[in-house]
Structure 1
Amino acid sequence: MISLHELYATGKSIREIARITGHARNTVRKYLRSNGIPEPRYGQKRGSKLDPFKPLIDQFMAQGIFNCEVLLHLLRDQGYTGGITLIKDYVKPHRPPRKIPAVQRYETKPGYQAQVDWKICEYVDLNGEVRKIPVFAMVLGYSRMMYIEFAKRCDIHSFLRCLIHALEYFGGVPKTMLTDQMKTVILGIGDDRKPRWHPLFEDFAATVGMVPKVCRVRRPQTKGKVERAVQFIEQNFMAGRRFTDVEDLNRQARQWCDEQNRRIHGTTGERPIERLAQEKLGVLPPADRLAKYRFEVRKVSRDGFVSYDGVRYGVPWKYSGRDVKVRDINGFIEIYREQELIAQHKKQHRSRTLVMCEHQYANLSTAQGYAYPKPQGIRIPVQDVEVRSLDVYERLMEVGT
C-alpha cells in the first residue's frame, strides 16, 4: 500500500490512483490519511467444542479408529455435544491411506490352467435403444492366449458350444479350468462345501480330460487374468464397434483375438501365440465324441417350427408336437429326429425371423393334419361274406348246452 503514497506524491488524483490500483476510492482515501499500512484487527478466535476432546481422539486414532461415526458415538459418551463435521475436519489430515491387502502373484505352469468367465456388454440397436449381449472369454494362464465369443444366451448349451470353439482355437485341452460360481455350470454348494457341477458340464469335462475348479468367493483376483481380459473386451474391443449381427460381431472378435495374441503381452513381455507352443495342451477328443454336447432338445410346434435363439426354423409337419435335437454348427442349424437329419437351415440372426423348409406342409390336407392314419374299419362286398346254414348254429348251441 506504500505505492499509494508514492502515486499521490507524483500528483495523481484519488480517482486516477483508484483506476490504476483497482481499489475503491474510499479505500484509497483511508490509506492516504494514514502514515502507513494500518495493522489488521483480528477478532478473538473462538474455541471449538472439540478442543477438550482432541487428546481423546488422538488416543482413538493411535488405536486405528478413524471411522468418524464411531468416534462421534465414543465422544458423546464422554460429554461431547458438537457435530460430526468437526470430527471429520480434525481426523482428515491424520487419516492413513486406504489399506489394500497385498496378494502373492500366481503364475501357472505351461498347460496347467485356463480361466473362463462371462461378461455382459452393451450396444445400441437400429432403433437407438441400448441392448445387452453376453460374451464368453477364455484365457490360458501361461501363454495368455485369449478367445472370446458373443452369444445370445448364457445357458449351459451356449457355454459348452463356446468352450468347444475355444479349445479348438487353442488346439488342445488344459489340465484344469478355473471359474467363479457362475450359475451356468454350478448348481450350488453342497454340505461338504464342494460345488455341485451341472451334470452336462461335468460329463463334458470328464470327456475332454479337464478338471474344473472354482475360485474363492469374493476373490476375483484369483482369476485375475480373465478378469482383466473381460474389462479389456469392454473398453478396447466393444467401444465404438460397428456390426450388423452376432455373426459379423464374432467374425470381428475372432480377428481381434488373432491380433491381440500376436502382440507382445504387457506382463510376460512375449507374444501369446509364441508361448502357446510351450503349453503342451492335451489332445482334443475327436469331433464325434464332442458332437452330443452341441445338441439342444426342442419341441416342434403344431405348425411345424422349432424355436432357436429367437428364430423359428421349419421342419416337415409330420414331426409337429415331437421332441427333436438342434445344433448350431458351421453357420447352419441342423435339426434331428433320433439319428435322422430332418431339416437344415442357414443360421439367421435377426430375432422373430420365420424360416420355412422345403415341402414343409406336403400332403398335410390329405392326411387332415395327422402324421399317422386314424384306426379304421374295412368294408367288403356282400358276396365275400360266407353264408352258413341254420344247422351249423343249432349244432353249436347243442355243444354249449
Structure 2
Amino acid sequence: MLRSGIVISLHTMRAEGKSIREIARETGHSRNTIRRYLRANGLPERKPRKTRVSKLDPFKPFLQERIQEGIYNCEVLYQLLREKGYNGGRTILKDYVKDFRPPKQIPAVLRYETQPGEYAQVDWGLCVYVDKDGNVRKVPVFVMVLGYSRATYIEFTKRCDIHSFLRCLIHAFEYFGGIPKVMLTDQMKTVVLGMGDDRKPRWHSLFADFAAAIGLVPKVCRVRRPETKGKVERGVRYVKNNFIPGRQFIDLQDLNRQALQWCDQINQRIHGTTGERPCDRLRQETLSPIPSADRWEKYLHEPRQVSRDGFVSYDGVRYGVPWVYSGREVTIREVNGWVEIWADGARIAHHEKVYKSRGIVFCPNQYAGLTTSQGYAYPRPQAKQMPAQQVEVRPLDVYEQVAEVGA
C-alpha cells in the first residue's frame, strides 16, 4: 500500500492534466495501481488475507488452560506441547502467548508511616572523589534519617568499623537532640555478626551493650528488601547525587564541616512527602533525652597497642605517648578535633587530630629519661657492689696484754 503522501502527489499530478502514462513514468508505479488510487475515495481498503491454518490451532485450548494457570514461559509451554504431539516451532508459540502475557509490574508494598520518636533508619554509603594527586578514592558516609520528621544527619569517616559506627550514632543523637525508640538497619557487618538458628540477629557485643545502656532497640530489615528502610536508602542516594557532585574540600574535617551545614540546609527545606520542613517536625519527635556523658563515654574509646617506639596508630596517623607506655595497651578517643590517649584511667597524651594519612605526631618529652633507664619503664633485678670495709691494724703486744689481764 502506498503512503498517504504519495497518494496526494498522484492526485496533484492528475489535477495538473497529466495522463496516467506520464504519471506512471514519473513515479515508477504501474498504471493499474495509479488508476486504483485515483478512483478510490481516500486510501483503498486492504483486502483481508486468508487465514492460514497453523500447527498450533489444535493445541490452543490446552495452551489457554496453562495460561489461566499463570504459565507464560514459552520454553515450559513448548515442552508441554511436545509431549502432546506438537511438531511446530517456537516462534508461532511466542507470537500467540505474547497477546496474553500480563504487563510487567513491580510488586506492590504497604507504606508504613511511623509515629513521632518511634523509628530511625541508618545505613552506610560509599562516595567517590578525586584526591589532589588525581587518584579516585572512596570515602564511607554514615546516614541517619528519623522516620517521622525525615530529619537527616550524615558524617564521613575513614572506616566502617564498630567504633566509627558508635561514634557516628552518638553524634547523630546529639544533633537531633534525643534518641529514638527503635533503630532499623540492614544486616550490615558492622553490627550484625550473623543470624542464629532461631533466625534472630547476633549483634556485635559492643553494640548490644551500647544499645542497652541508652535504651535503644535495634532491628534489622529483611534480606534483599531495601524498601523496608527506603527513607535512608533515598538519603544515601541523595548524598551521592546532591552533596558530593562538584564538592571541594581540604580534608575529612573540612568535608564533615560542609556536611553539617548541608544537613542544616536540607532539614529546613519543604520535604516532598510530608509537605513540611523536617526541622519543624523534629520538634514534634518525642525522642528520649540524651543520657549523661559518662554513660556512653566508654563507647568512644578504642583499644590500641603502643609500639616499641612509643606511638599509637589511629586513622592512618601515628600519635606519640611517653615512652614508658611502650608495648602496653591503651585506649584512644576523638573529641572535638582532638585525639586523647588514656591508660589506667588517666590521660597520658593529647594531640590535635591530623587528617593527612601516614603522619607522625610526637608527644612533648616523649623520650625523656629513656637513655638513663636503658629503655625500661621499671627497675630491673640487679646486684649492687659495696665499697671495701676498713679494718684497724693493731700490734701484737696489745693482744698479749689483753690475754694477761684476762688470766
TM-score range, shorter chain: 0.7 to 0.9
Structure 2 CA distance, aligned partners of 1:96 and 1:34?
42
- Secondary structure, counterpart of 2:35 in structure 1: coil
The 1:378/1:91 distance shift into structure 2, 3 A limit, reads same
Residue number in structure 1 paired with 2:287? 281
8 Å CA contact 1:138, 1:166 repeated in 2:
yes
State the partner residue of 1:173. Answer: 179
- The equivalent position to 1:227 in structure 2, one of 229, 233, 236, is 233
Give the SS at the match of 1:142. Answer: coil
**Which among 189, 199, 204 is matched to residue 198 of structure 1?**
204
Amino acid at match of 1:289: R
- Letter matched to residue 338 of structure 1: D
Q: 1:337 to 1:222 in 2, by over 3 A?
A: same
Q: Deviations over 1:140-167 (max 9, x none)?
A: 1111111111111111101100000000
5+ residue gaps, structure 1: 388-401
Measured in 1, the distance between the counterparts of 2:228 and 2:236 equals 14
* CA–CA separation in structure 1 for the residues paired with 2:61 and 2:340: 78
Structure-2 residue corresponding to 1:75: 81
Residue equivalent to 1:396: none
Please report how far the alpha carbon of residue 49 of structure 1 lies from its aligned counterpart in structure 2 after TM superposition. 5.2
Residues 11 and 220 from structure 1, CA distance in 2 versus in 1: closer, same or farther, beyond 3 angstroms?
closer
Confirm whether residue 291 of structure 1 aligns to residue 297 of structure 2: yes
The answer to whether the Cα contact below 8 Å between 1:5 and 1:32 also exists between their aligned partners in 2 is no
**What residue in structure 1 maps to residue 3 of structure 2?**
none
| Cα distance in 2 between the residues matched to 1:386 and 1:123 | 88
Q: Is the radius of gyration larger for structure 1 or structure 2?
A: 2
Work out whether residues 8 and 17 of structure 1, in 8 Å CA contact, stay in contact via their aligned partners in 2: no
Partner residue in 2 for 1:108: 114
For the residue of structure 1 that corresponds to 2:75, the secondary structure is helix
Cα distance in structure 1, aligned partners of 2:268 and 2:98: 48
Please list, as runs of the form range in 1=range in 2, the aligned pairs for 1:81-100 lying within 5 A after superposition: 81-100=87-106
- Counterpart residue number, 1:393: none
1:261 aligns with 2:267: yes
Distance apart, 1:53 and its partner CA = 4.0
Report whether the alignment pairs 1:143 with 2:149. yes
Alpha carbons 2:20, 2:31 under 8 Å: kept: no
3-state SS of the aligned residue for 1:133?
Answer: strand
SS in 2 for 1:121: strand
Q: Which moved more, 1:362-371 or 1:76-85?
A: 76-85
- What is the SS of the residue equivalent to 2:288? coil
Instruction: Show the counterpart of 2:398.
Output: none
TM-score (norm. length: structure 1): 0.83
How many angstroms does 1:42 deviate by? 12
Contact preservation (8 Å) 2:24, 2:34: no
Q: How many angstroms apart in 1 are the aligned matches of 2:117 and 2:392?
A: 84
1:252 aligned residue: 258
Aligned pair 1:132/2:138, yes or no?
yes
Match in the other structure for 2:364: 358
Count of residue correspondences:
378
Q: Contact 1:265–1:271 (CA<8 Å) still a contact in 2?
A: yes
CA distance in 2, matches of 1:35, 1:344: 98
Rounded to whole Å, the distance in 1 between the matches of 2:243 and 2:101 is: 40
Q: Distance in 1 between matches of 2:126 and 2:338?
A: 25
Residue 240 of structure 1 is matched in structure 2 by: 246
Instruction: Specify the SS of the correspondent of 2:283.
Output: helix
Distance 1:108 1:120 in 2: 27
Deviates more, 1:378-387 or 1:269-278: 378-387
Match of 2:404 in 1: none
Distance in 2 of aligned mates of 1:8 and 1:176:
84
Residue type at the aligned position of 1:231? R
Go from structure 1 to structure 2 and tell me whether the alpha carbon gap of 1:35 and 1:76 turns closer, same or farther (over 3 Å shift).
closer
Question: What's the CA shift for 1:48?
Answer: 5.7
Contact 2:114/2:148, CA 8 A, preserved across alignment: yes
Stretch moving more, 274-283 or 47-56: 47-56
TM-score (norm 2): 0.82
Change (3 A) 1:97 1:341: same
CA distance in 2, matches of 1:41, 1:102: 46
In the TM superposition, what is the alpha-carbon distance from 1:196 to its structure 2 partner? 1.9
Distance of 2:392 and 2:226 partners within structure 1: 88
Question: Does the aligned pair in 2 maintain the 1:300–1:321 contact within 8 Å?
Answer: yes
Name structure 2 gaps, 5 residues minimum. 1-6, 38-43, 394-407
